[in-house]
Structure 1
Amino acid sequence: MQITFIIDLLNKSFPLLSYLAYWLNKEDKYSLQSPLLFSTYQDLFDYIEANKSIDLDIEVYRKHLLSSDEVIEVDDYGAGSKIVNTAKRHVADITKFSTSSRKYAQLYQFFCSLTPAHIVVELGTCMGIGSRYLSRTTQGSLYTFEGSTEIARVAKPSQGFENLNLIVGELNHTLPSTLCTLEKIDFALVDATHTYEGTLTYFEQILQKTHTKSIIAIGDIHWSREMEKVWKEIKSNPLVKLSLDFYECGIVLLDYPGEKSDYVLDF
């Protein structure tokens, strides 16, 4: 009983300890020695500032979901939610606790815009907020994957976002079959299941379809010990030349001059 209590306490305190480690190690732009990275980092903040009045309709959609009293049945194939982990969940709760903020949605937009953005893949549609942001940056086709039928029903746009292709079903089946139809992936966001095995598997499958200018984002890299473990393995992959830790997500670049580098950045 005492051992179980200690383990439970450690698990609950993990996010706080993880954020403390991030806070102690994070760097601002003035600490960066690489001119290219300094410029890219500054461009990220300039991008967010320049787009502060753009895509506000997506935030109206978010507010609509947050005020919804609809309850849906959720098919969960991953680690589940830390806060709302029942089969039946309120749309408002899923939106509140499981979707990216506008700031991080724009971060994904920015890094997507650094690629050709012709083929973009998102694992973990959730309520479709991030999908809508990525759709606006995608120059070709966006393929977004959701495991839960009911979540996908709510998330699917009724109009607009014509380049968005929503694929429903368990990722173990839907991702490999879709990847077979794609020649190359320019940008990918892996934000599904939140398990070590699942995240690493999806990353490696996507990596096989990338090119040197591709960028891959990994969501919730400090969500659990499993996610921190997989983030470390992803960073160590020989094809990854630069990794950026923004706490709520990690960004990996496959093309970067100089030695393999890893940064923890303030955001």
Structure 2
Amino acid sequence: MLPLHFAVDYLSYRLKSFKLHGVHSPFIFNLYRNVILHDGDYYAYSQIETLREKLLQDNSALQITDLGAGSVTGNSVNRKVKELAQNSAKPPKYAQLLFRLANHFQPQVVFDLGTSLGLTTSYLAKACKKASIYSFEGCANISRVAKDNFKQLKLKNIRLIEGNLDTTLMQQLQKIERLDFVFFDGNHRHEPTMCYFNACLQKKHELSVFVVDDIYWSKEMKQAWQEIKKHPEVLQTVDLFFVGLVFFRHQQPKEHFILKF
């Protein structure tokens, strides 16, 4: 059962959100109609979802080190692969949305901040095979499973970066010239979310796309989302409840949309 605050936030979102007739921005209108609401099938869907079903049946136990924000040693617990597939991986609806966004914008450099078992990373890699996909994971044992999943899907454009995201993100940002697409799913607290967001801003450009996960997950994430919307470099946002889309397009006015999804 969803927490009460989450249910209340979702009800408020449903009451505020609207569909195509309420979208007056041509850019957002076309994106919403042709990408976000697209209900067709892509070849990658069945391949990755077949792997998901396999992982949901996997009883293998992993020792998980959750570094979190600012932690050096982390906390270790044992969890089954199927539990990670059930609770940590993005559901198909949203993983496939990320595929469609990446397929539409065709970014060349993609950061996935939070690999987990690699299902979302695989969707991004399948969507833009010529892109360089950098996926960040703090736990070595989870990384091992993700690498095996990438191998099964024959994905060769992913570089999996292990270690504390507080350190590895900044190191990798220094090695690239610009950043085209980012999925923020590395930490669901206000301070680290804003830290990672501001760090990635250093390498964004006008056509960059940032996707923030779980913007209503907690009071801290709601605070982070509001700050992102107000940031002077952020010009358009789309609230889809479970994820938020961020754009920096100067040819459109600063606008914020709450759309049904």
TM over 0.5, shorter chain: yes
Aligned to 1:199: 193
Decide whether the 8 Å contact of 2:137 with 2:160 is kept in 1.
yes
Match of 1:244 in 2: 238
One of 212, 219, 235 as aligned partner of 2:229:
235
Name the amino acid aligned to 1:178: Q
SS at match of 1:63: helix
Quote how far apart the aligned CAs of 1:116 are. Answer: 4.3
Contact kept, 8 Å, 1:241 with 1:259, in 2: the verdict is yes
Tell me which residue corresponds to 2:66: 76
**Counterpart contact for 1:66–1:92, Cα < 8 Å:** yes
Residue 21 of structure 1: aligned partner: 12
Aligned length in residues = 251
Please list every run of 5 or more consecutive structure 2 residues that lacks an aligned counterpart in the other structure: 70-74
**Pairing 1:64–2:59 present:** no
Whether the 8 Å CA contact 1:124–1:190 is kept in 2: the answer is yes
Match 1:174 to one of 154, 164, 168: 168
Same amino acid, percent of matched pairs: 33
Gaps of 5+ in 1: 1-10, 80-84
TM-score by length of structure 1 reads 0.89
Tell me which amino acid in the other structure corresponds to 2:47: D
How far, CA to CA, are the matches of 1:121 and 1:18 in structure 2? 29
Encode CA deviations 1:144-203: one digit per residue, 9 max, x unaligned.
000111111111123511000000110011111111111101101011111111110001
Q: How far off is 1:102 after superposition?
A: 1.8
Aligned pairs (5 A) from 1:116-135: 116-135=106-125
Residue 89 of structure 2 corresponds to residue 99 of structure 1: yes
Deviations 1:74-125 (A, max 9, x none): 111238xxxxx98111111111111112221121122223434111110000
CA-CA distance at 1:22 after TM superposition: 1.0
Q: Structure 2 vs 1, CA of residues 26 and 46 (structure 1 numbering), >3 Å: closer, same or farther?
A: closer
Given that residues 36 and 100 in structure 2 are in contact (C-alpha distance below 8 angstroms), is that contact kept between their aligned partners in structure 1?
Answer: no
User: In the TM superposition, what whole-angstrom CA distance separates every residue of 1:17-52 from its partner, at most 9, and x where no partner exists?
Assistant: 11111111111112212233211110115644152x
| 1:218 matches 2:209 | no
Read off the aligned partner of 2:108 and give its amino acid letter: H
Q: Do the aligned partners of 1:219 and 1:250 also contact (CA within 8 Å) in 2?
A: yes
The one-letter code sitting in structure 1 at the alignment partner of 2:89 is T
Amino acid corresponding to residue 27 of structure 2 in structure 1: L
Aligned equivalents of 1:44, 1:256: Cα separation in 2? 21
Length-normalised TM-score, structure 2: 0.90
Match of 2:151 in 1: 158
For the Cα contact (< 8 Å) 1:127–1:152, is it kept in 2? yes
Partner of 2:25: 34
SS at match of 1:200: helix
CA contact (8 A) 1:117 1:137 kept: no
CA distance in 2: counterparts of 1:109 and 1:242, whole angstroms: 20
CA distance in 2, matches of 1:119, 1:253: 16
Distance of 2:68 and 2:200 partners within structure 1: 18
CA drift of 1:258 comes to 3.6
Question: Per the alignment, do residues 102 and 87 of structure 1 end up closer, same or farther by CA in structure 2, a change over 3 Å counting?
Answer: same
Which residue of structure 1 aligns with residue 35 of structure 2?
44
Give a deviation string over 1:198-253, Cα, whole Å, max 9, x none.
11000111110011010000011111110010011011111111000111110001
